[in-house]
Structure 1
Amino acid sequence: MSEPLVLRDDADGVCTLTLNRPDKRNAINRELFREFRAHIRDIEEGVGDAGLVVITGAGEHFCAGHDLKSPPHADALGWLRQEMLIVERLTKLRQPVIAKVRGTCYTGGLELALAADFIVCGTSARFADTHGKWGLVPGWGLSQRLPRRVGQAKALEMMLTCQPYSGEEAAAMGLANYCVADEALDAKVAELTALILGNSRHSNAENKRLIYDTDGMGIAAGLNHELMRNAGFDPAMRKKGEPIAAAKRAV
């Protein structure tokens, strides 16, 4: 039986999904994507005890994007829509999502990383949008998420030049939250996950929802949304002032 194309590991509230085609720099084909979709559905349905999700790649690379050597789907547009909807569902998970990036993070791989809430990379990371090299346009949200991360001018620069950017450059432009030495990457992600999981899962989920739901709203509409769609206190809190650690596993 062949090895899974997406590995799932759960430990201490962290669900790690690892793209597992290291010989192809974790390029995404339909079989890999189907496995990825199944894992996202499981997380949505509460399979396991995930308070946070980490997306990464096996070996030395995060993801080289779509595998352009794979034969196209008979309904290419319909399949692209399925992919786009699953990537959007990754963003909408109640759990915070971290993309842990080493090596190549190109095109579809960059779109996948952008769908995460945080990008943490090593100095070996290289980020690029190469749609233009292949006569393609984004279909996983890059034209929307990239300018929201780095600004319109920098997003256009990345998309129109197709040039790669280092991990340090990614952090400087705000594409990555942190860039550290490769050998320190696991420790940095562990530090960040510990900080996040040390807080209420209820608060983490609702704060994330408020940020995304009000994206693009004017201040008045955003304030009204925060008030009228407020989820209130963590139901696991037994009394005001109790340490969050006692309730942090509540969803």
Structure 2
Amino acid sequence: MTDSISVEMTDRGVTTLTITRPEKLNALNVETLESIADALADVEPDTRALILTGAGDRSFVAGADISYMQDLSTPEAQAYAELGHHVMDALSAFPAPTIAAINGYAFGGGLELTLACDIRIAAENAILGHTEIDLGIIPGWGGTQRLPRLVGDERARRMIFFGDRIDAETAAEYGLVSEVMPAEELTTHVNEMADVLAFKPQVALRAAKEAVSLATETTLDAGLSFEQRAWSGLFGTDDQQEGMAAFLEDRDPAFE
């Protein structure tokens, strides 16, 4: 790919996208954002589970590139915001399940990357926060919208207003991450999770992701209507036939 990211895919269809700017704590510059967007588009057809992480043992992604942002004009800032939203939206809409392996600092745009993933697993040394307020700005790549949906309105307000940095255990208490792991076990644990997902029925898993995502994006009636259509549409697929046959025959299914 580029010097700012690396992409690896196993023969099981697990893709690991790693942001590789450890000397900058994996901060997101324009090149990195564009590379992430390109990589997501490139790997989408063949990926059954996606892992997102940062290089090194200090930082997942420490945020956006402040040296680049410092002297932006309003129109330039708008373009940067649009690029950031494009990446976060592409990650959020990625059809396969996505896992953020948070192996260190996740501030600002780094936290927004995790919010756009389906599952967030943190190392014990991870520190997370929306720290933009102390830079004279606010979260600009989806944080003001996705964080309240995850941790609740007032908790999100406090995190954004005060710019607090919270440790992994506090993030788990808030519901911001679902698990906290010893740092040396994070990669193995996340890889094992992704492997399990890779062996699930792909069409059904993608339908499940789309249906669950609608829960926070539409009305209950619209979501329930989509669920009915998605559920019934899976009947007649090879995986539905195999899954139910395996259950009735008391064996493990062999999904495509």
Deviation at 1:34, TM superposition (A): 1.6
Deviation at 1:154, TM superposition (A): 1.0
Instruction: Select the structure that is richer in helix.
Output: 2
- 1:59 matched to 2:60: no
Structure 1: segments with no counterpart, 5+ residues: none
Deviation at 1:159, TM superposition (A): 0.6
Deviation at 1:132, TM superposition (A): 0.4
Deviation at 1:104, TM superposition (A): 0.5
* Secondary structure at the counterpart of residue 234 of structure 2: coil
For residues 86-114 of structure 1, the C-alpha deviation after alignment (integer angstroms, 9 at most, x for no partner) is 21011111110000011110011000111
Structure 2: segments with no counterpart, 5+ residues: 247-251
Q: Which residue of 1 aligns with 2:254?
A: 246
Distance 1:228 1:187, change over 3 A: same
- Contact kept, 8 Å, 1:200 with 1:245, in 2: the verdict is no
Percent identity (aligned): 28
Distance 1:238 1:158, change over 3 A: closer
* Secondary structure at the counterpart of residue 100 of structure 2: strand
- Contact kept, 8 Å, 1:19 with 1:26, in 2: the verdict is yes
Deviation at 1:79, TM superposition (A): 3.2
Question: Which amino acid is 2:164 matched to?
Answer: Q
* Matches of 2:39 and 2:217, distance apart in 1: 30
Deviation at 1:189, TM superposition (A): 0.7
**RMSD of the TM alignment (CA)?**
2.1
- Contact kept, 8 Å, 1:199 with 1:245, in 2: the verdict is no
User: Any residues of structure 2 matched to 1:104-143 within 5 Å, and which?
Assistant: 104-143=105-144
User: Any residues of structure 2 matched to 1:6-155 within 5 Å, and which?
Assistant: 6-11=5-10, 12-44=12-44, 46=45, 49-60=46-57, 61-70=59-68, 72=72, 75-155=76-156
Q: Which residue of 1 aligns with 2:249?
A: none
Deviation at 1:234, TM superposition (A): 6.9
Q: Which residue of 2 aligns with 1:171?
A: 172
Q: Which residue of 1 aligns with 2:237?
A: 235
Question: Which amino acid is 1:84 matched to?
Answer: H
* Matches of 2:40 and 2:60, distance apart in 1: 18
* Matches of 1:32 and 1:221, distance apart in 2: 36
Question: Which amino acid is 2:212 matched to?
Answer: I
The normalised TM-score by structure 2 is: 0.88
Give aligned pairs, total: 244
* Matches of 2:204 and 2:240, distance apart in 1: 15
* Secondary structure at the counterpart of residue 239 of structure 1: helix
User: Any residues of structure 2 matched to 1:136-215 within 5 Å, and which?
Assistant: 136-215=137-216
For residues 140-197 of structure 1, the C-alpha deviation after alignment (integer angstroms, 9 at most, x for no partner) is 1111111111111111111111111111111111100110111111222123213322
Q: Which residue of 1 aligns with 2:3?
A: 4
Distance 1:234 1:81, change over 3 A: farther
- Contact kept, 8 Å, 2:28 with 2:65, in 1: the verdict is yes
- Contact kept, 8 Å, 1:64 with 1:107, in 2: the verdict is yes
